[in-house]
Chains A and B, each alone.
Chain A
Amino acid sequence: MSYDRAITVFSPDGHLFQVEYAQEAVKKGSTAVGVRGKNMVVLGVEKKSVTKLQDDRTVRKICALDENVFLAFAGLTADARVVVNRARVECQSHRLTVEDPVTVEYITRFISNIKQRYTQSNGRRPFGISSLIVGFDFDGTPKLYQTEPSGTYHAWKANAIGRSAKTVREFLEKSYKEEDMESDTNVIKLAVRALLEVVQSGGKNIELAIMKRDEPMKILDQQEIEEYVTTIENEKEEAEKKKKKT
């Protein structure tokens, strides 16, 4: 008997197949990377090569949820739109009832709860997205969380989701240095370097959003990204030259 039909059924060996298939859908989505620095948080996404006739601005994979939180996702864009909309309403609702902005953990938990509900409902399929949620709580601490279609969430120092997430995560594990995270430039550079591992054509296919404590989210324009890419490539060359000398 096939156990992947209805979402509400466990398989004999304890799997929820629909949730696992949703995770497969996520693995097909374009890569997203998140890095948590000391004073800055960064989200970067791989932009699929935009066709000539398409308007670049309508392909936005990084969404602001509120003034202090924003999110990037990997997977089904339409599913993300629904989740992001609900989260945005919840952010304002929270402000209305409690007179405080949401903490990053609160909104992550809210999104995860929605996702979990859809793994236990009749006739509905899970959301096919994983998301990286970053921001600053009102006490100033930076946060980075990842949610999955199953409804679980974890806090991370740096993470990647989507296509080639494993490669990027391994790169991050190698290159993440706690001391480096004090400098905002290093935080941005780490995110860009991580994305360059998997993005084919360099700066053109990267979209980057940064947030400094107490400042609104800023989406870097193409020129700024190119500058970082050039700096990184120069540093790589320097490193190569040094290696050859020794």
Chain B
Amino acid sequence: MEYLIGIQGKDFVIVAADNVAASSIIQMKQDQDKMFKLSDKILLLCVGEAGDTVQFAEYIQKNIQLYKMRNGYELSPTAAANFTRKNLADYLRSRTPYHVNLLLAGYDAVDGPGLYFMDYLSALAKAPFAAHGYGAYLTLSIMDRYYRPDLTRDEAVELLRKCIEELNKRLIINLPSFTVRLIDKDGIHDLEKLVPVGAK
């Protein structure tokens, strides 16, 4: 039911997450923010088991900050992604695994933008575009058709909008709005909330 999407452009990454927090068949909250700021240029998008998501994401967030305090500089997105993966993998092989699906998006001064897909089995993959949730089945093919590595910011937002319209059209579950953020060399920027046409 929850949906995450990320698209990497030439010098930016754009990410979006739905805003619904549900408990069984009831929408408890329609303005839930599922993105966690790991550092000035890294965002972690986290969905999955209720409670596991916030617990795991905040734990990673504070550890990334601790690294910064100890060493005087921030972890790169690659390092942060691998650190997250290792933690998830360790917990998976314990009595208390976390059931979370993640997207990690970041900008590195040297390597540029990066998007990392991670699932609850702790598989990590760097990808130009990625999505989580039932919505991924519908939107990955849209991105296959229209994605180009040199997308401009506006084109990326358009591609995002195409995906979200498709969700609104075909998904049995109504996702009324999506938080959108963009990461580039200047940090994390909030973009306008995306509301699919015809959504209640």
Query: Which of A85-93, A126-134, A154-162 is found at the contact surface with chain B?
Result: A85-93
13 A-B residue pairs with CB within 8 Å: A64-B69, A64-B72, A66-B69, A88-B66, A88-B69, A88-B70, A92-B62, A92-B63, A92-B66, A92-B69, A95-B65, A96-B58, A96-B59
Inter-chain contacts of A64 with B (CB < 8 A): 69, 72
Number of interface residues, chain B, beta carbon within 8 A? 9
How many residue pairs at the A-B interface have CB separations less than 8 Å?
21
Chain B residues in 8 Å Cβ range of A91? 69
Residues of A within 8 A of B62 (CB): 92-93, 95-96
In whole angstroms, how far apart are the Cα atoms of A81 and B34 in the complex? Answer: 36
CB distance from A66 to the nearest CB of B (A): 6
Q: Is the interface of A mostly helix, strand, loop or mixed?
A: helix
B72 contacts which chain A residues (CB < 8 A)? 64
A contact set with B: CB distance below 8 Å: 64-66, 85, 88-89, 91-93, 95-96
* Chain A: minimal CB distance from B170 (Å): 38
- Which residue from chain A places its CB closest to the CB of B59 in the assembled complex? A96
Cα A91 to Cα B65 in complex, Å, equals 10
A85 shortest CB reach to chain B, Å: 7
* Complex alpha-carbon distance, A66 and B66, angstroms: 8
Residues from chain B with Cβ under 8 Å of A96 in the complex: 58-59, 62
Min C-beta distance of B54 to chain A, whole Å: 11
Shortest CB-to-CB span from B169 to chain A, Å, is 39
Q: Give every chain A residue within 8 A of B70 (Cβ-Cβ).
A: 85, 88
- The docked-state distance in angstroms from the alpha carbon of A92 to that of B72 is 15
Q: Which residues of A contact B58 (CB under 8 A)?
A: 96
Instruction: A228 to B52: give the CA distance in the assembly, Å.
Output: 52
CA of A146 to CA of B59, assembled, Å: 31
> What residue in chain A is nearest B66 (Cβ atoms)?
A92
Complex CA gap A70/B75 in Å reads 21
